[in-house]
Chains A and B, each alone.
Chain A
Amino acid sequence: MMIDPHIHMTSRTTDDYEAMQAAGIRAVVEPAFWAGQSRNHVGSFEDYFLMLLGWEKFRASQFGIRHFCTLGINPKEANRADLVDGVFALLRRYLSKAGVVAVGEIGYDEMTSAEEKIFGDQLLLAREFGLPALVHLPHRDKVRGTVRTIALVREVGIPDEQVLIDHNTEETLPLVLETGCWAGHSIYPNTKMDEKRMVDLVKRHGAERIMINSAADWGISDPLKVPKTAAAMRDAGIAPQQIHAIVWENPIAFFAQSGRIDAAMLEQPLQIDQREAWEGNSVLRGQAARIET
């Protein structure tokens, strides 16, 4: 059994859900993120949050996958002074919802002062709501971004163990492991991190506080990167207990700090009944309904 703790399923197809479930993925965490282009209205964020909590959760369930989400103002749009106050007010409304297991993804992109302000405010919001925080490391100037992220976590005073720092590389992982924060790795077809490099990192650093995810989205990405990387680890001789920790125990332990997810819940197989509908909509398009109870 596996969890993909960072994947943007609103951008993916039902074929992906079927393949993920067949490959052993039982739950996903979908962070609120950038839409590929800037949004121009606070209301666009609200509808997006509602979709993550509603239709997407239902859609996942129709394929036997439990769906959770994290909500936040992503680093890029933290620079939109005309939007941030309104979205921040929305977060105060929506962070209490049952499907929300963290504040995220938040962090730095260009490391502007606006990004730092919103990042810090959202870490405080996580602390206020008793939620962990999913932090995105910048794609550019990553080491400096990691150092500044850790410094801000300390400054805000959110406990290290409630922070998952994502998109790590060979250079940033040691910095994160020196803290008590958790370390995520996005396995991508070309950029970020790949299976072989991840295997090398686990051999060097072990499995403690380590997670992997596909970060699959609307770009060229692969929603099966968690099971594929687990297979690469097995092939490389990494102990099954370590792999189990990375793809199952660690993400559960981290997000369980929200009080809205636990191992017992996830170990229960989700019943599939594709005759069900959400606001009158079914995932079926004329097919026979899959029913597994």
Chain B
Amino acid sequence: MSNKPDISSLLEPLLHRLAPACLSENFVIEEFGRRFSSLGWSLRSVNLALSSDEHAALIAAGILNPEALDVSGIARIHLLIQALQLLPTGEHAAFIDACFRSGDNLEREALLRALMLLPLPERFISTTLDACRVAVQTTFEAIACENAYPATYFGTDAFCAMVLKALHLGVSVRRICGLAARCDSNLKRMAAAFGSELTAAGKTTTPDISYILDLEETTT
């Protein structure tokens, strides 16, 4: 926990500049659900214009694709960090899971992009595995793309399943963090099988299949 970047020291000045009204000094956990949801509406007209320094700082802090977030997304990440600070540690996993299940797409996407910034992210694994099963592409991308969580915490089978889903959806696998380091023989077999299926159906294969087949195989 201690080696986490101090994300609040980055987000608070940013939000103070963009949307000071969403910073509450008297935030109480009972207000979380209402505030988390209403941010999308209340910040709808605020444009996220990041300076290059802010952009770089967000990436360095672990928000690897700031372009995918609007101001409400940044504010929601801030709110999640605040909420976990107020909750007993033992309630964190259930809280994050409930937040995901009751969230709309943008709420879910902010949550998924926040996970690596939260303490002990490995506790949220079941929520993230379910996030990979959603049919909404932007939500799937929020966990699968520009997010270090899967490569860090997914087991081999779950990681391969996520990459294969990206191939099927046409989401570039080059956006998956840590793919080269996690590319094992099973993933290569799956990619080759998908290519074979497309060929048998008279369809063209995708360059991403070749990209995976060309990666150096790792052993797990």
Contacts and interface: CB of A to CB of B under 8 A. Distances in A.
Nearest to B126: A81
A171 B200 contact: yes
Interface stretch (A11-19, A138-146, A235-243): A138-146
Nearest to B202: A197
Interface in A28-48: 36-38, 40
Interface string A37-64: 1101000000000000000000000000
B164 A140 contact: yes
B196 interface: yes
A278 B33 CA distance: 39
Interface secondary structure of A, over-half rule: loop
Interface in B158-199: 158, 161, 164-165, 167-168, 190, 193-194, 196-197
Contacts of B196: 143, 171
Contacts of B167: 140
A140 B133 contact: no
Give the interface size class of chain B.
20 to 34
Interface residues of A, number: 22
Contacts of B164: 140-141
Interface in A123-154: 139-144
A37 B193 CA distance: 27
A171 B193 CA distance: 10
A36 B135 contact: yes
A111 B156 CA distance: 13
Interface of B: 101, 126, 129-130, 133-135, 157-158, 161, 164-165, 167-168, 190, 193-194, 196-197, 200-202
18 contacts: A37-B135, A79-B129, A80-B130, A110-B133, A110-B157, A110-B158, A111-B161, A139-B168, A141-B190, A141-B193, A141-B194, A142-B197, A144-B193, A169-B197, A169-B200, A170-B201, A197-B201, A197-B202
